[in-house]
């Protein structure tokens, strides 16, 4: 007796080098335990041997999407900081709003954001926020996969590194292996060199990586060069951060010397283009990163800049903005965009051999996407539809770690009505904005 049979599906296949995307027709996907056992032409498999059989006729099976950088619980603040510069966004909105934050808000906010991600086919998230014990409890309950990191500031003192190391140890490999934990000094502009160095040392000691914001926009890079004579990337390199695996959020302000440097270290870049456009941060040079061999993964960032957790939108904007910046539609063609959305996001997430492909041996994090809606028809190109047409509501069924967490649009692990009621009850308190109570100052 095996676990799940996805029957008679189209199956997305992205070549490891990202040069080709194709679709197997009329195939079954066999899942046993946490992993994909086989992908076989339909008709060869006896469905009576499976506990759960899902008819995927005319539907697409593809890897669950991986969000490589988010602050999921920030969904509780969405819509509260619009049309303002990045300085005001931090100093007058985000950091005053976050002074309202309580552990319980993170617990419910994380569930709310995970519900939104499941509904849109996102099965994994690299999250970077506060009160991460509560975030981990939410991931445990949701049944999804998380690479969780507790965001800390230099102003909190190195004791906070020990506190988050405790979090790392407590939750590492928990929830049937779905939860992994890293460290998260916030950014070089909010952590001094000693704090960064101590964080890197702790990461080495724990055998984990670091998830950090760096060179988010060019203003940070030029400010760092003016103040320190080095770029933010060089600052974190000199503090030892780049000696451990890292996820670097944004890097829109990369100079050629940064790209050269990053090509030699075990890093990955999280790309969240909706945030960049909404805050006019310019667009990260993804083509240059990829040309240098630096993996790039898709990300939403938090919902106060994004304003959703819709990774399909990130995928679409990634492709379109690279075309815009290169001034030719020939760059970032569909197979490369899907390569980033699947295998490369898995690589940034640190699970290149386990996620990002529907192949035997890979973890069974897969989604079933319905391409029968009028907005896909007639379906001349499955892969074009994935990049340019899919709406989150097309995602029918979501499987993580071999377990169904959404079936036919019904969430099986989370109680949506309760989550929304809990979050709504705190709305007025969360929306209070007192600039004398900001948790940090933005002045890179």
CA distance 342 to 358: 10
Cβ(232)–Cβ(226) under 8 Å? no
Contact stretch for its own copies (CB under 8 A) within 48-56, 59-67, 250-258, 372-380: 372-380
Contact stretch for its own copies (CB under 8 A) within 16-24, 56-64, 198-206, 377-385: 377-385
Contact stretch for its own copies (CB under 8 A) within 8-16, 163-171, 250-258, 375-383: 375-383
Size of the site for its own copies (CB under 8 A): 65
Least distance (Å) between residue 211 CB and its own copies: 24
Cβ(154)–Cβ(98) under 8 Å? no
Query: Does the protein bind its own copies through residue 263 (CB under 8 A)?
Result: no
Least distance (Å) between residue 8 CB and its own copies: 18
Which of 279, 286, 366, 369 binds its own copies (CB under 8 A)? It is 279
Please report, as residue ranges, which positions from 387 to 416 form the binding site for its own copies (by CB under 8 A). Answer: 388-389, 391-393, 416
Cβ(362)–Cβ(14) under 8 Å? no
Query: Does the protein bind its own copies through residue 23 (CB under 8 A)?
Result: no
Residues in the chain: 444
Which of 17, 427, 429, 437 binds its own copies (CB under 8 A)? It is 427
Residue whose C-alpha is closest to residue 59's, from 83, 29, 80:
29
Q: Are strands 267-271 and 246-250 parallel, antiparallel or unpaired?
A: parallel
Which of 49, 170, 227, 375 binds its own copies (CB under 8 A)? It is 375
Nearer to its own copies, 129 or 362 (CB): 129
Query: Does the protein bind its own copies through residue 436 (CB under 8 A)?
Result: no
Query: Does the protein bind its own copies through residue 378 (CB under 8 A)?
Result: yes
Query: Does the protein bind its own copies through residue 60 (CB under 8 A)?
Result: no
Nearer to its own copies, 34 or 221 (CB): 221
Burial status of residue 105 (CB atoms within 10 A of its CB: 0-12, 13-18, 19 or more): buried
* Structure token digits, residue 212: 């950090």
Report CA-CA distances (Å) from 181 to 166, 171, 175, 210.
Answer: 10, 7, 12, 9
Kind and range of the H or E element at 86? Answer: helix 86-88
Which of 77, 93, 182, 349 binds its own copies (CB under 8 A)? It is 77
Report CA-CA distances (Å) from 201 to 228, 238, 246.
Answer: 22, 12, 13
What is the 3 state secondary structure string of 132-193? HHHHHHHHHHHCCEEEEEEEECHHHCCHHHHHHHHHHHHHCCECCCCEEEEEEECCCCCCCH
Least distance (Å) between residue 322 CB and its own copies: 10
* Structure token digits, residue 334: 């569909």
Least distance (Å) between residue 376 CB and its own copies: 8
Query: Does the protein bind its own copies through residue 95 (CB under 8 A)?
Result: no
Which of 24, 38, 84, 287 binds its own copies (CB under 8 A)? It is 84
Query: Does the protein bind its own copies through residue 308 (CB under 8 A)?
Result: yes
Hey, CA dihedral for 130, 301, 146, 236, is it positive or negative? negative
What one-character DSSP code corresponds to residue 332? Answer: S
* Structure token digits, residue 444: 């890179």
Query: Does the protein bind its own copies through residue 153 (CB under 8 A)?
Result: no
Nearer to its own copies, 205 or 327 (CB): 327
Contact stretch for its own copies (CB under 8 A) within 132-140, 189-197, 262-270, 379-387: 379-387
Q: Is the peptide bond before 233 cis (omega within 30 degrees of 0)?
A: no
* Structure token digits, residue 112: 């709310």
Query: Does the protein bind its own copies through residue 206 (CB under 8 A)?
Result: no
Least distance (Å) between residue 76 CB and its own copies: 6
List of residues contacting its own copies (CB under 8 A): 75-80, 82-86, 89, 112, 115-116, 119-120, 274, 277-280, 282-283, 306-310, 320-321, 323-324, 326-330, 332-334, 372-375, 377-381, 384-385, 388-389, 391-393, 416, 419-420, 423-424, 427, 430-431
């Amino acid at each position: 007796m095996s676990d799940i049979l996805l029957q008679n599906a189209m199956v997305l296949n992205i070549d490891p080098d990202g040069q080709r995307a194709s679709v197997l027709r009329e195939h079954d996907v066999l899942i046993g335990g946490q992993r994909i056992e086989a992908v076989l032409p339909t008709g060869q498999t006896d469905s009576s041997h499976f506990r759960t059989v899902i008819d995927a006729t005319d539907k697409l099976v593809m890897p669950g999407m991986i969000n490589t950088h988010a602050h999921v619980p920030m969904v509780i603040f969405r819509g509260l900081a619009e049309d303002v510069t990045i300085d005001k966004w931090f100093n007058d909105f985000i950091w005053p709003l976050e002074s309202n934050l309580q552990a319980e808000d993170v617990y419910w906010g994380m569930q709310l954001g995970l519900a939104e991600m499941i509904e849109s086919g996102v099965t994994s998230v690299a999250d970077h926020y506060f009160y991460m014990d509560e975030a981990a409890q939410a991931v445990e309950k949701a049944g999804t996969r998380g690479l969780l990191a507790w965001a800390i500031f230099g102003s909190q003192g190195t004791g906070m590194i020990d506190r988050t190391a405790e979090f790392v140890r407590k939750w590492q490999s928990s929830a049937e292996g779905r939860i992994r934990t890293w460290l998260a000094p916030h950014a070089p502009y909010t952590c001094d060199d000693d704090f960064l160095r101590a964080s890197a040392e702790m990461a080495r000691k724990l055998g984990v990586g670091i998830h950090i914001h760096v060179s988010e926009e060019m203003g940070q890079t030029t400010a760092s060069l003016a103040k320190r004579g080095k770029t933010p990337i060089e600052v974190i390199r000199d503090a030892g951060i780049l000696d451990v695996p890292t996820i670097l959020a944004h890097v829109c302000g990369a100079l050629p010397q940064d790209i050269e440097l990053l090509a030699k270290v075990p890093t990955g870049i999280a790309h969240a283009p909706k945030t960049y456009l909404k805050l006019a941060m310019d667009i990260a040079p993804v083509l240059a990163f990829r040309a240098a061999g630096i993996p790039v993964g898709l990300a939403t960032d938090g919902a106060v800049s994004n304003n959703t957790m819709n990774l399909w939108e990130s995928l679409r904007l990634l492709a379109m903005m690279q075309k815009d910046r290169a001034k030719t539609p020939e760059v970032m063609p569909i197979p490369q965009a899907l390569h980033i959305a699947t295998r490369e996001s898995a690589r940034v997430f640190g699970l290149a051999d386990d996620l990002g492909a529907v192949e035997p041996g890979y973890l069974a994090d897969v989604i079933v996407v319905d391409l029968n809606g009028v907005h896909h028809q007639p379906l001349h190109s499955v892969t074009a539809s994935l990049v340019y047409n899919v709406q989150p509501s097309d995602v029918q069924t979501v499987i993580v770690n071999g377990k169904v967490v959404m079936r036919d649009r019904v969430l099986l692990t989370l109680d949506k009505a309760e989550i929304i009621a809990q979050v709504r009850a705190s709305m007025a308190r969360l929306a209070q904005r007192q600039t004398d109570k900001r948790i940090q100052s933005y002045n890179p």
